[in-house]
A = this chain, B = another copy of it.
Amino acid sequence: MTNTQLTLVQIDNYGPWTVTPEPRREMDLQTLQSRLFADIAQFVGYRGGYAFFTRFDNMVAVTNGLDTDDHRLLQESMGNRYPVTISLGIGVDANPAVALEAATEGLQLAGSAQDGDRREVLTGTPITDGTDDLSIAHFDVNDATEKYTDRLNEFDSFIQIEQGYATLMRYLREEHGGLSFFVGGDNIIAVTPEMGADAYRDAIDHVEDAVGVELKVGVGRGATAHEAGMAAKHALEECRHRGTAVELDDVAAGVESE
């Protein structure tokens, strides 16, 4: 059974900080945000997790395999090296949206994201039993370079990718409780509950019908986001070689027959 552990990473009181005592240089903020995200991606990634930048002041990480001490260490280290601190909420559920709901509620109960006194909160309980796994789906856009990058101006290419993403993120969230994140280029990575190949095909069809963007997807299962994600990447390579739209690794494929 999938059991996804998600961590909401929230920069404490970030909005007010960016304009105090007056608005800070935008490129300094962009640098700060993207480096802070990079450090979290490295930390989480080395432990088998995945981190997504989401809104940068709020990031979502798949943290199966990370315990409370790991979370505290991340919090301490960021506080030592950045002018801002982070709060962390952990949630666990078979359904990613439900897990994130729990993760978010933990922080919300501790105070507002813009409460100057709420700093370095850590809420929620990580999985202690390591027998579960999770599911990662890696989507990309068919022939994005040929159809968009090499033909349209960059912003119009980006609009296509973005409309595809906005549509997919909403569909997977509403239909399945899956959480999709744009990760650059024409790539979208989703943390998904147990879903069969048909469900992925429906998602792809929905996006093509709605905004005309053709996706394909590789799906993997594993004990960590890294393992599941690597299986998903290989499955996506299979799509490329076979010209198929959906490929599930063996574990993920087993879901269908159940």
- B226 A108 Cβ-Cβ under 8 A: no
A88 contacts across to B, CB distance below 8 A: none
Segment at the B interface, from A30-38, A119-127, A195-203, A243-251: A30-38
Distance from A251 Cβ to chain B, minimum over Cβ atoms (Å)? 18
Chain A 67-96 against B: per-residue CB contact (8 Å), 1 yes, 0 no? 000000100110111110000000000000
A176: interface (CB < 8 Å): no
Contact sample, A vs B, 24 pairs, CB 8 Å cutoff: A8-B154, A22-B234, A23-B234, A25-B80, A25-B230, A27-B44, A30-B37, A30-B41, A30-B45, A31-B41, A31-B45, A31-B81, A34-B53, A35-B35, A35-B81, A38-B38, A58-B149, A83-B83, A100-B155, A105-B153, A112-B150, A159-B169, A162-B165, A162-B166
Among A23, A58, A154, A237, chain B packs the most CB atoms within 10 A around the CB of: A154
Given A35-B34, A38-B31, check contact A185 B77 (CB 8 Å).
no
Bound Cα distance from A45 to B163, whole angstroms? 29
- A229 B185 Cβ-Cβ under 8 A: no
- B237 A153 Cβ-Cβ under 8 A: no
Given A26-B189, A226-B26, check contact A81 B83 (CB 8 Å).
yes
A170 contacts across to B, CB distance below 8 A: 159, 163
A157 contacts across to B, CB distance below 8 A: 55, 58
A50: interface (CB < 8 Å): yes
Q: A residues within 8 Å of B by Cβ?
A: 8, 10, 14-15, 18-19, 22-35, 37-39, 41-46, 49-51, 53-58, 60, 73, 76-77, 79-83, 97, 100-101, 103-105, 108, 112-114, 145, 149-159, 161-163, 165-166, 169-170, 173, 179, 183-186, 189, 226, 229-230, 233-234, 237
Bound Cα distance from A22 to B236, whole angstroms? 12
- A153 B101 Cβ-Cβ under 8 A: yes
- B153 A100 Cβ-Cβ under 8 A: yes
- A77 B108 Cβ-Cβ under 8 A: no
Given A55-B158, A80-B83, A162-B166, check contact A150 B113 (CB 8 Å).
yes
Given A41-B31, A151-B108, check contact A57 B184 (CB 8 Å).
yes
A24 contacts across to B, CB distance below 8 A: 80
- A38 B45 Cβ-Cβ under 8 A: no
- A60 B155 Cβ-Cβ under 8 A: yes
